[in-house]
Each structure stands twice: as C-alpha cells, then as structure tokens.
C-alpha cells in the first residue's frame, strides 16, 4: 500500500484532525469573546458534514472484506507488517455514527457555550478530538491502538467534564471521572499485557490464531486478562459495577458534554468490546457470554431502580443511560452464529446504538434548551413546558417514548431486535428481565412527562429555544420517527456493518 492510498483511506480521520486544528488555531487568532468567534462553531459543523461526505466516498473502496491499515512496514518492526486499524464495514458504521454525534452535539451546544463557556475554541476542538478518538477506537485491530485511542477518548472526556472551572460540581465530577477512569484503564492495560504474554502478539486476529492453535503453554493467563479487559471497557460503557462515575460526571459536566459522554464513549466501548471479543477471543465465548449476561441483568436493574429516586433530569438521564447500556449488552450476549436469521444480536446492538444516538441526543438537546432558559435541570424546571414551548414538550414526549421503547419510535426497533435475539437464542430470562425493566422505566420517564404536561409552572412565559437547538431537536425527532416507520435501510446498514464480524465468528 502506497502512502497516497493510505492517506485516502485515512481521509475521515484527517478531515476531523484538520478541522480541530483549524478551530484551535483560529481560536488563538480571534480574541476571546470577539464577534468572529461565533464562526468557530460553523467551522466545526462544516468539518463534521465533510466527514460524512468523505466516509460515504471511501465506502466503496473497502470492498466486502475490509482493508487492513498498517503504519509501519515489516522492515521497521523487525517482523511481519503490523496492521493497526481496519477499514471494514464496522469501522465505517462508527465513522458515520461519530459524525452524527458531533453534528447533533455541536448544534445543541451553540447557545449554551456562548453564555457559559469562556474558552470556546478549545471546547469545540476537544469535542472534535473526542470524535476522532471514537473513530480510531472503533477501527483499531491492535491492542496498542485500542489502548491509545481509548486513552485519547478518556483524557478528552475528563477535560471536557471539568470544563466549567468555576463550577463546584463540574470540577468534582471531573475528579471522580478521572480517578475511576485512570484506574480502570490501568487495569485494562495490565490485562492487555497478560494477553500479549499468553500469545506473543498484539494483533487481534493473531491472538485468535495463536489461541486456536492450542500450543499456548500459558492458556490460563487469558482468564484474568479477559476479566481485566472487561473492567476497562465496562467502565467506558458504564456497566454496573463500574458505573459509579457516570451519575456524578454526567450531572457535573456542561450539558452538551453530558450529551456527548452519554453516547460517544459508550458507542466506542461497545465497538471495541465487539471487535475484541469476537475477533480475538471467540474460543472463550462460553466464558464471556456468561459474565456479560450477568452484567447485563445487574446493569439494567440497578440503573432503572436508582433512576426512580432522581430529581435532577441530567442525573435521571445518566441512570437511564446506564440501564440502556444493559439492554444493548443483551445484543452481544445473544449473538447468533448463523447469519441468515433476521437478528444476529449484533445487528440489534448497532440498531439500538443508532436509535439511542438520536433519542438521547434529542432528549439532552431539550434539557439544554430548558437549562438555557431556566438555569437549572431540576425536574420542576420542566413544569408547564407544554404551555411555554409546545415544540420542545412534544418532541421530548417522543424521545421519552423512544427511551421506553414504545412504537412507533426508534427505541422500539432497537428493543425488538435485541430482545428478539435473546428469545431466539432461548435466553428467555434475559428477555424477561429486559421487558420488566422497560416497564419499571416508564415510571421515571413519566415523572418528566407529568411535569411537562400537568406541572404548575411559576414562570409561565413562553420562550424560544434558538435556531441551533431547534434544528438539533427537529432532526433528532424526525430520525426517531424515521427509524421506526421506514426502518428497512437502517436495518440493512446495521446488518451489513456486522456481517464481517458475524461471519468470522
């Protein structure tokens, strides 16, 4: 592969890096608080739109098998060529996913950032770098690359969480996020080192080959390695019992960052988890399926039960997002070996992630709009929203329905595929726990609805949410409906994106 070819294949990453650097550079030139600083948001948005275009453009180049991307030739590394990333359907899916996350988060953050955040350019640049880290981690096929990209994502997330330096809760959330996150990634790194010791390679496919060969003298090392890697990734996804950071970080962080954190790192964590378990450790399937099934049940139940007591909507949505991660995990647990059936579990996971992207970012955009106006994200700030801003109230109603999983919304399609996979694999227990939990979740989502439609507001004056938020909420709402009413292209996209993983397995 020549350098030019390599650069073409890396175009999405390059576009995002360049955009972030341009934003950083212009931020230095344009004085803080000057009029021209508003263009920073536009540049970031244009970069994200170009990212979509470039991703679609290189899509046909990858073929069906995916292309390995190696940064060093065999000569440099004293061995075979070392592929660091893959440009396969899964990686492309997450590039598109990242671009959508970035666009919605940036659109929703405009007014919030203008009022509350002092250093705008760095803020947008950090969000773009976070997106870059998501794309890299979803494409990584080498333990080194996985570690680097996840750490990249973590460090940008810590900084974004503590971005409101004057705010007690923001800094406190960042400290907690950092302490938990750094510990979890150190444990994961130790797991990687054991995996390397057991197999002598860092390449995911290479690890599987060595382990399948049966000639590994220290086979048992894989078990502690597996547990330690699950700790690190469970932290990123916020699975119970590695979720303690999530509510505090979500509540303290600036709300656009909360929106990003609730979708971005979670999706990256799931992408790495899928790739790592299915490419490197398919032989240990019985072990990790049992562990993940237990984690899924605990995660759904605990997330939902604790959410019942929350009075702050950001914190409520934090626990709700923990529970949602539990539902998604069912997709990975219930993966079906044969690719012919309509749900392979994995495509359910991707569909659920996509539905969750639109639903959760839409819901957070509404929270941002209310917070911009009322100055708080407490439940009572939503009182009487129906009379004050019917557009926000009705779209929020739609997003909450989607989070519960009631048709005709995207959340229903996601739950249908995930629970369907569980039933198909005869994992009735998982499906039942998931459905019972969905019913429990109605209670706390209804608390928001009740405030919006029947709550008595102190301040009943109507307010305007501003153009950026209107577009973000509108796009999210349309996509939530689209995914349910015109689901076929989304299902095809999800199924094709996992076809390679499902086939290799």
Partner 1 sequence: MAIPLPWWLTVAAALFAIGLYGVLSRRNAIGVLLGIELMLNAANINLVAFWRYITPQALTGQVFAIFVIGIAAAEAAAGLAIIISAYRRRRTVVVDELDTMRW
Residue numbers at the binding site for partner 1 (CB under 8 A): 77-79, 82, 143-144, 147-148, 151, 154-155, 158-159, 162, 165-169, 171-176, 178-179, 182-183, 186-187, 189-190, 192-194, 196-197, 200-202, 247-248, 251-252, 306, 309, 315
Closer Cβ to partner 1, 37 or 171, answer by number = 171
Closer Cβ to partner 1, 10 or 175, answer by number = 175
Min separation Cβ 133 and partner 1, Å: 13
Q: State how far the Cα of 410 lies from the Cα of 82, in Å rounded to an integer.
A: 40
HEC per residue, 249-312: HHHHCCHHHHHHHHHHHHHHHHHHHHHHHHHHCHHHHHHHHHHHHHHHHHHHHHHHHHHCCCCE
Min separation Cβ 189 and partner 1, Å: 4
Min separation Cβ 143 and partner 1, Å: 8
Residue 52: other Cβ atoms inside 10 A:
18
Cα separation of the two ends of the chain: 28
Q: State how far the Cα of 372 lies from the Cα of 437, in Å rounded to an integer.
A: 32
Closer Cβ to partner 1, 313 or 334, answer by number = 313
Closer Cβ to partner 1, 162 or 362, answer by number = 162
Min separation Cβ 197 and partner 1, Å: 4
CA neighbours closer than 13 Å in the CB half-sphere of residue 54 = 19
Closer Cβ to partner 1, 62 or 183, answer by number = 183
Min separation Cβ 439 and partner 1, Å: 23
Q: State how far the Cα of 352 lies from the Cα of 375, in Å rounded to an integer.
A: 32
Min separation Cβ 227 and partner 1, Å: 13
Exposed/middle/buried for residue 423 (C-beta within 10 Å: 0-12, 13-18, 19+): middle
Closer Cβ to partner 1, 202 or 431, answer by number = 202
Query: Of the candidates 296, 288, 289, which has an alpha carbon nearest to the alpha carbon of residue 223?
Result: 288
Min separation Cβ 152 and partner 1, Å: 9
Closer Cβ to partner 1, 220 or 309, answer by number = 309
Give 203's strand partners: 142
241 cis-preceded (ω within 30 degrees of 0): yes
Residue 333 near residue 427 (C-beta atoms within 8 A): yes
Torsion (CA) 110, 116, 121, 127 in degrees, nearest 10: -70
Closer Cβ to partner 1, 170 or 409, answer by number = 170
Q: Positive or negative, the Cα torsion across 347, 349, 350, 355?
A: positive
Min separation Cβ 85 and partner 1, Å: 15
């Amino acid at each position: 592969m020549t350098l030019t070819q390599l650069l073409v294949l890396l175009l999405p990453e390059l576009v995002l890096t360049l955009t972030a650097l341009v934003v950083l550079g212009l931020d230095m030139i344009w004085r803080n608080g000057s009029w021209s600083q508003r263009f920073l948001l536009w540049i970031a948005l244009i970069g994200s739109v170009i990212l979509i275009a470039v991703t679609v453009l290189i899509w046909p180049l990858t073929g069906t098998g995916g292309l390995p991307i190696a940064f060093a030739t065999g000569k440099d590394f004293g061995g075979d060529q070392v592929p660091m990333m893959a440009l396969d359907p899964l990686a492309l899916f997450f590039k598109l996913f990242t671009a959508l996350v970035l666009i919605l988060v940036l659109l929703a953050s405009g007014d919030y950032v203008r009022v509350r955040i002092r250093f705008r350019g760095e803020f947008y640049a950090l969000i773009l770098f976070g997106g870059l880290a998501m794309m890299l981690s979803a494409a990584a096929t080498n333990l080194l690359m996985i570690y680097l990209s996840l750490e990249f994502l973590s460090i940008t997330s810590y900084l974004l969480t503590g971005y409101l330096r004057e705010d007690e809760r923001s800094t406190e959330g960042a400290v907690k996020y950092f302490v938990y996150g750094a510990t979890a990634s150190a444990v994961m790194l130790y797991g990687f080192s054991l995996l390397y010791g057991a197999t002598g390679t860092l390449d995911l496919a290479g690890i599987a080959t060595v382990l399948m060969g049966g000639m590994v003298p220290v086979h048992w090392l894989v078990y502690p390695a597996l547990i330690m890697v699950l700790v690190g990734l469970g932290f990123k996804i916020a699975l119970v019992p590695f979720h303690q950071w999530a509510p505090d970080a979500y509540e303290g962080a600036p709300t656009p960052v909360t929106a990003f954190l609730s979708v971005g790192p979670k999706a990256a964590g799931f992408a790495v988890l899928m790739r790592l378990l299915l490419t490197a450790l398919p032989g240990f399937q019985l072990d990790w399926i049992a562990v993940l099934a237990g984690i899924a049940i605990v995660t759904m139940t605990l997330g939902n039960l604790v959410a019942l007591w929350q009075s702050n909507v950001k914190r409520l949505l934090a626990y709700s997002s923990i529970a949602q991660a539990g539902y998604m995990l069912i997709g990975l647990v219930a993966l079906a070996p044969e690719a012919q059936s309509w749900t392979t579990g994995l495509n359910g996971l991707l569909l659920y992630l996509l539905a969750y992207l639109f639903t959760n970012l839409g819901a957070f955009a509404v929270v941002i709009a209310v917070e911009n106006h009322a100055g708080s994200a407490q439940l009572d700030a939503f009182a009487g929203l129906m009379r004050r801003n019917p557009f926000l109230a009705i779209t929020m109603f739609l997003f909450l329905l989607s989070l519960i999983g009631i048709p005709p919304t995207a959340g229903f399609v996601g739950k249908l595929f995930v629970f369907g996979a569980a039933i198909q694999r005869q994992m009735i227990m998982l499906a039942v726990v998931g459905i019972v939990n969905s019913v429990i979740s109605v209670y706390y989502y209804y608390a928001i609805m009740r405030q919006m439609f029947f709550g008595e507001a102190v301040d009943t004056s109507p307010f305007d949410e501003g153009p950026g938020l209107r577009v973000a909420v509108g796009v999210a709402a349309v996509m939530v409906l689209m995914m349910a009413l015109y689901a076929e292209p989304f299902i095809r996209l999800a199924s094709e994106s996992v076809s390679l993983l499902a086939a290799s397995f």
